[in-house]
């Protein structure tokens, strides 16, 4: 029996489809029930802050995929975000230890690294998060290691930005909106010369990594980066995606200073475009070294940045426009 927390997320939905296809029995937890949740799944509604609720959901479970988190404080408030990201993880870890779970897989984030100067980033590089979400993930990882030291079989994965059909990240959706849905004024913005590189990863590749972890006990106690191969510069990427997807949009260069000022001005208006992590996305290099999971678990990402963007654009055209 498998338990998936955060089943409404893009990774949760993709993972559950794969688990059912591979004939796993699945339980799922989230704060509301999505209409697309398969009937085969036993659903529990909650947020993991109720320990009695966790005990009920975890019974008869062998494997836990802990995906539930809150990435942006704008929706729920910082206090609730922190509780979900840290306290609920501690509650679930404790219940897993008491119920002798065979494998606990924790979905962390590449944002634990912050904005390092040296690329690509390795798993043993320092964690210096510069966002609230990254800081929460670092604290949750520390809890995972604490319980692992006491005998709980734990694996941590750190994906870069997960993007693909069905994505609900406000930052990604606004990029697509600006490129495709603004009539004569549609445009894609690039800060500076567009020579920075920022790695993406497709949800199917993340799920394949999760299943590779479950299949191979060598993964227990390990931390793995997850990201695509062949990461182009922002400008190379935009030009190629525009060509393949036949986008009729302008490519607009703005200075890094103006980008930062605009981010500050938009923050009080609760506009999610150009929030702190998005500024990092368009101004900085961010590429994870994924050789560890490739060598140990033989995982290889099937889609690169260009393929991810084109597939996501085609989905957006069909479903959102």
Q: How far apart are CA 10 and CA 173, in angstroms?
A: 14
111's CB contacts (< 8 A; 6+ apart) are 129, 131, 133, 134, 137, 277
Residue of 76 and 63 predicted with greater confidence: 63
Residue range 201-230: mean pLDDT, rounded: 98
For the ranges 66-75, 197-206, 299-308, the lowest mean pLDDT is seen at 66-75
Sorted by sequence, the CB contacts under 8 Å of residue 188 that are 6+ apart come out as 175, 178, 179, 238, 242, 247, 249, 250, 251, 252
**286 has which bridge partners?**
198
Q: Where are the domains of the chain?
A: 2-162+199-228
Q: Is the predicted pLDDT of residue 62 greater than 70, yes or no?
A: yes
Q: What is the number of alpha carbons within 13 Å of residue 174 lying toward its C-beta?
A: 10
Q: What is the structure's pLDDT at 256? A: 63
Q: Which of 181, 197, 252 is nearest to 230 (CA)?
A: 197
Q: Which residue matches tokens 């990863």?
A: 201
Per-residue confidence (pLDDT) for residue 75, from 0 to 100 = 78
| Residue 42 phi, psi dihedral angles, 5° rounding | -85, 115
Is the pTM of the predicted complex or chain greater than 0.75? yes
Topology (CATH) of 2-162+199-228 = Rossmann fold (3.40.50)
Peptide bond before residue 120 is cis, with ω within 30 degrees of 0: yes
């Amino acid at each position: 029996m498998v338990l998936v927390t955060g089943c409404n997320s893009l990774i949760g939905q993709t993972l559950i489809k794969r688990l059912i296809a591979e004939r796993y029995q699945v339980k799922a937890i989230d704060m509301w029930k999505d209409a697309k949740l398969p009937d085969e799944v036993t659903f529990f509604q909650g947020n993991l802050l109720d320990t009695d609720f966790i005990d009920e959901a975890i019974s008869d479970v062998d494997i836990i995929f802990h995906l539930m988190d809150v990435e942006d404080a704008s929706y729920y408030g910082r206090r609730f975000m922190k509780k979900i990201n840290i306290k609920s993880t501690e509650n679930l870890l404790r219940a897993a230890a008491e119920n002798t779970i065979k494998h606990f897989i924790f979905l962390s984030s590449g944002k634990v690294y912050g904005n390092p100067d040296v690329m690509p980033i390795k798993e043993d590089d320092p964690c210096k998060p510069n966002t609230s979400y990254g800081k929460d993930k670092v604290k949750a990882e520390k809890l995972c290691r604490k319980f692992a030291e006491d005998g709980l079989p734990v694996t941590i994965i750190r994906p870069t930005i997960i993007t693909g059909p069905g994505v609900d990240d406000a930052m990604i959706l606004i990029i697509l909106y600006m490129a495709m849905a603004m009539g004569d004024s549609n445009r894609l913005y690039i800060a500076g010369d567009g020579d920075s590189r920022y790695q993406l990863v497709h949800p199917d590749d993340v799920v394949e990594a999760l299943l590779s972890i479950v299949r191979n006990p060598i993964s227990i106690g390990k931390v793995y980066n997850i990201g695509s191969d062949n990461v182009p510069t922002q400008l190379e990427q935009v030009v190629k995606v525009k060509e393949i997807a036949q986008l009729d949009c302008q490519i607009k260069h703005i200075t890094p200073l103006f980008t930062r000022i605009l981010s500050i001005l938009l923050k009080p208006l609760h506009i999610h475009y150009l929030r702190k992590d998005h500024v990092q996305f368009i101004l900085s290099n961010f590429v994870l070294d994924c050789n560890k999971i490739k060598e140990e678990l033989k995982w290889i990402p099937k889609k690169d940045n260009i393929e991810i963007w084109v597939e996501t654009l085609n989905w957006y055209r069909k479903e959102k426009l």
